[in-house]
Structure 1
């Protein structure tokens, strides 16, 4: 994963869902009786079918009537029925007596609305008392040891078709989960309680529990680390990966990369945090000094002279497990970057200057393009004395690490060439007209380039 694709962001905004029913509130507590239960059981199958709820009713209860004003200001009556399903969650069903349409909301939603406002309806059937048990198999995809002991509904995101819940786990950290509608393309998604703030902040899980939930993946990263502190940094939504800073007891911390279900993916030190940093729990400055010395030694071992004064971790090449690091050092005037294998990688160390970097479509940060252009100006004057560079296009990388370029001169002369690997001259440089006549694979494309008109008897080559 390239760290440049890293996405920072807080939890999704959640819009509250109006349940649209205030019948049978806590102030009008439901008294279960056989007549209303019989009516509910008799009507439940048809109501469930109309509402599109996949539920085989185990019990049902006709709660009563509710009234609500429609958009036209007219009062509409609703018949309210509670249903307990043989498997899964129970529901409150509202039947519009005018249109016969049936609205539905589940018992966890009802419980949450009632907790916020006791005038709102809640489920009362004995089978619906533990309204949260339906979440256990879902949450166990995140934490196999979790038995959900409570839950609350926090709202819905209609556009993306999911509901957000917080689930409490018995004796351990809970989680926030986004549960998609049946017809939604959105996937079931989990968020550690460290990652949610504001309206989505956890109520059932403490900060300490959330931190401790990272012990297992942190141990996979560094066995000697006992997690003392942790914070969520952000999520790469396209990969489904979360990033946390881990503070270890008595030793330097690191950045931990996991799936949203807290499965270990990768880790890297605070000195390599790049755009994710700086670390808050580890003295990254001292680590950086150590890293500079370590990098200088690695470069020396590769036969490269570079006293590292600064460095930048550009990203990690996933396939080869190599870090791409750019270095600032006085000895390398044309810049230096290197692919450095991480532990366990069988790939080779590979160094390059900024000409190669730009040929690979990645510009250096410590050496500006203007420095490369100026160096080319010196080289082209040595090869073609009548050229003062006006514009350069870097076309790509040629054989033996040559840099393919197009040069436009201020006098309308133009050239394409291959800058030698040593960057002391050109392996070949020809005019735009020659490149065209010989059908070279690289051609002049800068508008107006090579349009120099020589005097009588002169040459444009």
Structure 2
């Protein structure tokens, strides 16, 4: 898990300091671009952007002015370029032999170090909204963001950084190449990753706004939770972010958020010890006890008497439902609970039959389920077989489920056919007559007898 800090090397101040006095004068709100400055820009800029490797399909350009270094007498000419489908730039073209420097219009829109209007601010019509030039980079990042506000953070020799406040409520740090190119890597990291006291930090969104995503993730999880508190846990190398939430009901979760902002999974605090030492807002031991009690109640309500002694959530996404394996202190077999939030319908499948619903038990031993299958055989008139082994075969398109069983007496076993909706046995087919079902019997003892 990590938080992010980046050092930036800014050089605009040095350029501002060398500007000619004429360029330092305050600009009107919308300066008029003269034909002469536009003609000079359109003549010079195409070669400059090619030499500088700037990603710009030139739509418009102007010469802003010139400055002369008082010590070296070296002259620098400044140009503004508007680029189709990309961020506009201001280019500082020095003497022959020196590489041009490029700054985004967003960077040059900031006031000069003395607080006066920036003489290098972009004024071409195509650069009227500098935010628009960042949209292709936002789209490439895959993050959901319509920028309401943007703050330039400067650039290093390799990266250009911007802070974004999004209409959707989130805040991000956008990192592009320097100068920005759409064929280079683009990343957008949530503001919550950055230390508020660090060199690179977010100022357009506060901590409460950055944590508001927790409410959305909790809602997406379908888990009943009146939110009490929220906290950021950390980020993984995969790009996933982790948040902790505590609930008024006493339980808590860790929420895993995918790079695209969607919920990946919600992890009970009782199962979250592997993440930075587990939950801090909720007492995990107390949570385990309380959660076990809750699952006991839910199982009883679903018609499955189980005093829950252990449980393990399944990482599946069933909207509005929670899937949990249950181990019981009052019975040797366990079950798979599918519990609905609120007043929805819940169900528990015992471990003898749960694989027919694609859920395999791991908290209890397979043999604990065999008495259930023995009872299923008796229910369809096969009373002489005590089940000693079993395997789930599968479910057909017409919703018939099959489980192969072996018998303790060493005689050939059976395929038990189930009606999946009610999970009731319909018939038992002796292995010698079941060769046409999924390849027939394969359990040890059954294969040679069938």
Pick the TM interval, shorter chain: 0.5 to 0.7
Once residues 266 and 425 of structure 2 are traced to their aligned partners in structure 1, the CA distance between those partners, rounded to angstroms, is: 42
CA 1:289–1:264 in 2, change beyond 3 Å: closer, same or farther? same
Name the SS for the 1:194 alignment partner: helix
Name the SS for the 2:201 alignment partner.
coil
State the secondary structure of the residue aligned to 2:308. coil
Find the counterpart in structure 2 of residue 288 from structure 1.
288
Q: Distance in 2 between matches of 1:369 and 1:83?
A: 76
Q: 1:414 to 1:83 in 2, by over 3 A?
A: farther
Structure 1: how far apart are the matches of 2:428 and 2:366? 22
Report what 1:418 is aligned to.
Answer: 416
Could you tell me which of 354, 359, 362 is aligned with 1:357? 354
Query: Do the aligned partners of 2:153 and 2:200 also contact (CA within 8 Å) in 1?
Result: no
Deviations 1:150-171 (A, max 9, x none): 3134686xxxxxx66342769x
Instruction: Answer whether contact 1:135 1:167 (CA < 8 A) is retained.
Output: no
- The residue number in structure 2 matching 1:68 is none
Are residues 268 and 409 of structure 1, via their aligned partners in 2, closer, same or farther at CA, if it must alter by over 3 Å?
closer
Superposition TM-score, scaled by structure 1 size: 0.58
Residues of 1 paired with 2:21 and 2:392: CA distance? Answer: 83
Tell me, what secondary structure is at the counterpart of 1:317? coil
CA distance in 2, matches of 1:307, 1:355: 18
Question: Is residue 88 of structure 2 the alignment partner of residue 84 of structure 1?
Answer: no
8 Å contact 2:41–2:80 — kept in the other structure?
no
Residue 340 and residue 249 in structure 1: after superposition, are their counterparts in 2 closer, same or farther (change >3 A)?
closer
Deviations 1:299-329 (A, max 9, x none): 22222211112222213533x4211011111
Counterpart pick for 1:134 among 130, 137, 140: 130
Deviation readout 1:58-115 (Å, 9 max, x if unpaired): 3356889xxxxxxxxxxxxxx98754234733154889989xxx9885448999xxxx
Aligned pair count? 389
| Distance in 2 separating the partners of 1:322 and 1:236 | 29
Q: Deviations over 1:35-74 (max 9, x none)?
A: xx9976631133336744134223356889xxxxxxxxxx
Seen in structure 2, the aligned counterparts of structure 1 residues 54 and 323 have a Cα distance that, compared at 3 Å, is: same
Counterpart residue number, 2:57: 54
Structure 1 259/379 Cα, relative in aligned 2: closer, same or farther at 3 Å? Answer: closer
- 1: CA distance, partners of 2:289 / 2:370: 32
Which residue in the other structure is 2:154 paired with? 152
Q: 1:91 & 1:153 partners in 2: Cα distance?
A: 14
Quote the residue 2:25 is aligned against: none
Deviation at 1:366? 0.9
2: distance between equivalents of 1:149 and 1:343?
A: 43
Shift of residue 340, structure 1, vs aligned partner: 0.6
Contact 1:230 1:245 in 2 (8 A): yes
- In structure 2, the residue matched to 1:203 is 200
Paired position in structure 1 for 2:303: 303
Gaps of 5+ in 2: 23-36, 69-74, 109-117
TM normalised by structure 2 equals: 0.59
Q: Tell me the residue number matched to 1:118.
A: none
